[in-house]
Amino acid sequence: MELKNFSLEGKIALVTGASYGIGFAIACGMAKCGATICFNDIKQELVDKGIAAYKEAGIEAHGYVCDVTDEDAVNALVATIEKEVGVIDILVNNAGIIKRIPMCEMTAAQFRQVIDVDLNAPFIVSKAVIPSMIKKGHGKIINICSMMSELGRETVSAYAAAKGGLKMLTKNICSEYGEYNIQCNGIGPGYIETPQTAPLRERQPDGSRHPFDQFIVSKTPAARWGTTEDLVGPAVFLASDASDFVNGHILYVDGGILAYIGKQPQ
C-alpha cells in the first residue's frame, strides 16, 4: 500500500482574503508544501501589503484586487487566474467579516452584509471554480467555518447564521460534486489570534486581561487562544491527496472547545 501524499507540488491554490490573518498563514503553509499561491483582497493597498509579506516569507504569490461578493468581479478573477497561472486545484473560501451587534439593534442591511461576505461569497467563488475542476477531473474546496457553525452567542446572530449556512453549503457541494472527484470540506477554527478577534483580547484600562479573553481560555481545554499556525496542517491535509476520501466534513480546530462542558464553579 502506498501512503497518499501530503505534497501540493504542481497545484494552484486560490485563497480569498489572504493578505494577512488566517488566509495568509494557510497560503504560506500550502506554498511551503509546493503549491502556487493566488490570493485576493478587497483593496489594492491590502494586496500590495500581502505581496510584500509573502515575498518576505520567500513566496512569489499572485495577488489580485477582488470583492468576493461581486459575482462579475469573481468570474473575471477566476478567468484571469486561469489565463495567467492555470486552472485552480484548491480553493480556500477564507474572506470573512463579523459584526458584534445585539440582534435587536442590528439593521437588516448590516445582517445582509455579513451574510453576503460570509455565505453568499463562498457560493459565488465555488460556483466560479467548479466547472474547470470538473473538466480537470479533481478539485479541493475548503470553507473556513467557525465555532459559530455550531454555537451561538450574544451579538453574533448574522455571523452564526452565515457560518451555520456555510457548514451546510459545504455538505451540499460535497453531495452535488463528489462524483466529479471534488472534495469540499470545512475547517472550523476555535478562537484564533487575528485582527478579527483583537477587540476581544484588548487589555482593560487597568492593564488586566479582557473578560472575554479569560472566558475563552477557561472554555478551551488547551487553555489558550489558537494561532494561525494551528490551522496550517489541517488545511494542507484537506488540500492534499491524503484527504481524497474525506468529503463534506467540518474539521474543528478549536483546542477542544466543542468537546468541553466548561469548568465547574469552584
Ligand X SMILES: NC(=O)C1=CN([C@@H]2O[C@H](COP(=O)(O)OP(=O)(O)OC[C@H]3O[C@@H](n4cnc5c(N)ncnc54)[C@H](O)[C@@H]3O)[C@@H](O)[C@H]2O)C=CC1
Ligand Y SMILES: O=C(O)C(=O)C[C@H](O)C(=O)CO
* Residues belonging to the active site: 159
CA pair distance 228, 253, nearest whole angstrom: 11
Question: Is 260 among the residues that bind ligand X (CB under 6 A)?
Answer: no
Residue 46 touches which of ligand Y, ligand X, none (Cβ within 5-8 Å per kind)? ligand X
Q: At what angle do helices 44-56 and 21-32 cross, to 10 degrees?
A: 40
42 binds, among ligand Y, ligand X, none (CB under 5 to 8 A by kind): ligand X
Work out how close the CB of 252 gets to ligand X at its nearest, in angstroms, rounded to a whole number. 10
The piece of 21-29, 53-61, 132-140, 242-250 that touches ligand X (CB under 6 A) is 21-29
* Alpha-carbon gap, residue 37 to 196, rounded angstroms: 23
Please give the single-letter amino acid code of residue 222: A
CA distance 201 to 83: 43
Of residues 81, 84, 97, the one with CA closest to residue 133:
81
For residue 118, give the C-alpha cell: 460570509
Question: Nearest to residue 26, comparing CAs of 94, 85, 73?
Answer: 94
Q: Which of residues 119-178 bind ligand X (CB under 6 A)?
A: 144, 146
Which of ligand X, ligand Y, none does residue 156 bind to, with CB < 5 to 8 Å depending on kind?
ligand Y
Compute the least distance from the CB of residue 258 to ligand X, in Å: 12
Query: Among residues 35, 147, 169, 187, which is the contact residue for ligand Y, using CB under 6 A?
Result: 147
Cell triple for residue 250?
467540518
When asked if residue 197 is in the footprint of ligand Y (CB under 6 A), the reply is yes
28 part of the interface to ligand X, by CB under 6 A? no
- Supply the Cα-derived Rg of the chain in whole angstroms: 18
DSSP 192: B
Residue 203 region, left (φ>0) first, then alpha (ψ -120 to 50), else beta? Answer: beta
165, 191, 225, 235: which one binds ligand Y (CB under 6 A): 191
Q: Count interface residues toward ligand X (CB under 6 A).
A: 28
d(CA 125, CA 4): 28
Please say which residue, 17 or 190, places its beta carbon nearer to ligand Y. Answer: 190
Q: Is 69 in the site for ligand X (CB under 6 A)?
A: yes
Nearest-CB residue for ligand X: 96
Q: Residues with Cβ < 8 Å from 253, sequence gap 6 or more?
A: 187, 188, 189, 190, 226, 230, 231, 234
Residue with Cβ nearer ligand Y (57 or 200): 200
Q: Out of 156, 169, 232, 235, which residue is the one contacting ligand Y (CB under 6 A)?
A: 156
How many of the chain's residues bind ligand Y (CB under 6 A)?
Answer: 13
Q: Report helix, strand and coil shares of the chain as percent, to nearest 5.
A: 50, 15, 35
Per partner kind, with CB cut-offs from 5 to 8 A, the member of ligand X, ligand Y, none near residue 39 is: none
194 binds ligand X (CB under 6 A): yes
The residue within the footprint of ligand Y, chosen from 148, 158, 173, 236 (CB under 6 A), is 148
